[in-house]
């Protein structure tokens, strides 16, 4: 049976793929990016495979345009439907697309898909100014859809008050922080992941 963890973020570009790679490596898990929008650069699946050497699943939707999934799908003439959890042995790290309220099709949002999965979600948040508002909005939106959340993982230089404030107001644990890495290599990522609370994460699997 699959035990899945979902990685969402407070925005696109916050570090979901880098965090997912570190987590996939640490758990020796399998990685899945169900919706990939943008195929011209290295895809998230390719990045995680390169950084981890771990298995990855094919995307459910590979969309050509680097845009919101609903638009990228429309431009390719496809409609994003429900994406059932794959059934495989071991742990699966699932990376969302953009932030939690990114539309998939019509009024259906990625958060609605997360609510259907009912797998524990980790919210990846920046540390820099503006993150309190983005993080609390994301958490409130997920909570209102009854999406189970494990905690918040930060990416960036330490901003103690913002990190503490988010976790205190949201009443969620901090799962640690990945600092800015000058070289994004497998050893550097593995070492930086020493600062992430893997016990709490493993406890949810
Ligand atoms: N800890 C880090 N140290 C250095 N660079 C990082 C770190 N985390 C993320 N980055 C860089 O920031 C950029 C955005 O990160 P990433 O691709 O992980 O974001 P994302 O949230 O997955 O975006 P998307 O919504 O497109 O999936 C990338 O160029 C990535 O290499
Ligand atoms: C193309 C990008 N890298 C992501 N895959 C999708 C980001 C969608 C963001 C939509 C939005 O919030 O405006
Ligand atoms: Mg990504």
Q: What is the CATH number of the domain that holds 184?
A: 3.40.50.300
Cα gap 28→17, rounded to integer Å: 16
SS3 category, 108: strand
- Which pLDDT does position 205 carry in this prediction? 87
Q: Is 59's C-beta closer than 6 angstroms to any atom of ligand 1? A: no
The rounded distance, in Å, linking the Cα atoms of 123 and 138 is 8
Ligand 2 site residues, Cβ closer than 6 angstroms:
12, 37-38, 66-68, 97-99, 102
CA 25 to CA 35: how far, in whole Å? 21
Give the residue ranges of the chain where pLDDT is below 50.
none
46-92: per-residue pLDDT in tens? 999 999 999 999 999 999 999 999 999 999 999 999 999 999 999 99
**What are the b/e assignments for 162-173, b being 16+ CB within 10 Å?**
bbeebbeebebe
DSSP 118-161: ---EEEEEE-STTHHHHHHHHHHHHHHTT--EEEEEEESS--HH
Contact 205, 91 (CB under 8 A): yes
Q: Tell whether ligand 1 has an atom less than 6 A from the beta carbon of residue 12.
A: yes
Question: Domain limits at 52?
Answer: 2-203
- pLDDT of 113 reads 98
Cα-Cα end-to-end distance for the chain: 11
Indicate the number of domains in the chain. Answer: 1
Report the helix count and the strand count for the chain, using DSSP H and E. Answer: 8, 10
Residue from 59, 69, 78 nearest 109 by CA: 69
Q: What's the CA gap between 158 and 178, in Å, rounded? A: 9
The interface predicted TM-score (ipTM) is 0.99
Substitution site in 8, 14, 18 for ligand 1 pocket (most atoms within 8 Å of beta carbon): 18
Q: What is the pLDDT of residue 160?
A: 98
Specify which residues 90 forms β-bridges with. Answer: 2
What's residue 199's pLDDT?
95
**Active-site residue among 33, 126, 134, 177?**
33
- For the full predicted model, state whether its pTM sits above 0.90: yes
Q: Among 42, 47, 97, 103, which residue has the most ligand 2 atoms within 8 Å of its CB, making it the best to mutate?
A: 97
Selection from 141, 150, 90, 83 nearest residue 117 by Cα: 83
Nearest to 15 by CA among 71, 119, 95, 72: 95
pLDDT at residue 2 in the model: 72
Q: How far is the CA of 147 from the centre of ligand 2 (A)?
A: 21
33 is catalytic: yes
Q: What is the pLDDT of residue 69?
A: 98
Question: Going by CA atoms, what residue is nearest to atom 4 of ligand 2?
Answer: 98
The tokens for 55 are 């298995």
What is the reported pLDDT for 158? Answer: 98
Q: From the annotation, which residues make up the binding site for ATP?
A: 13-18, 44, 95-98
């Amino acid at each position: 049976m699959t035990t899945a963890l979902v990685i969402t973020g407070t925005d696109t570009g916050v570090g979901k793929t880098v965090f997912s790679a570190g987590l996939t490596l640490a758990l020796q898990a399998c990685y899945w990016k169900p919706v990939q929008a943008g195929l011209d650069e290295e895809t998230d699946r390719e990045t995680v495979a390169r950084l981890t050497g771990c298995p990855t699943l094919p995307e459910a939707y590979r969309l050509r345009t680097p845009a919101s999934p609903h638009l990228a799908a429309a431009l390719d003439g496809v409609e994003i439907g429900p994406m059932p959890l794959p059934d495989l042995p071991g742990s699966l790290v699932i990376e969302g697309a953009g932030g939690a309220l990114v539309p998939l099709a019509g009024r259906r949002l990625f958060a609605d898909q997360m609510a259907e999965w009912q797998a524990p979600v980790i919210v990846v948040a920046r540390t820099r100014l503006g993150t309190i508002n983005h993080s609390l909005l994301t958490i409130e939106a997920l909570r209102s859809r009854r999406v189970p959340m494990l905690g918040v993982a930060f990416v960036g230089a330490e901003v103690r008050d913002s990190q503490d404030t988010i976790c205190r107001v949201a009443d969620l644990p901090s799962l640690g922080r990945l600092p800015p890495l000058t070289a994004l290599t497998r050893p550097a990522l593995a070492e930086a992941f020493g600062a992430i609370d893997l016990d709490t994460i493993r406890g949810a699997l």
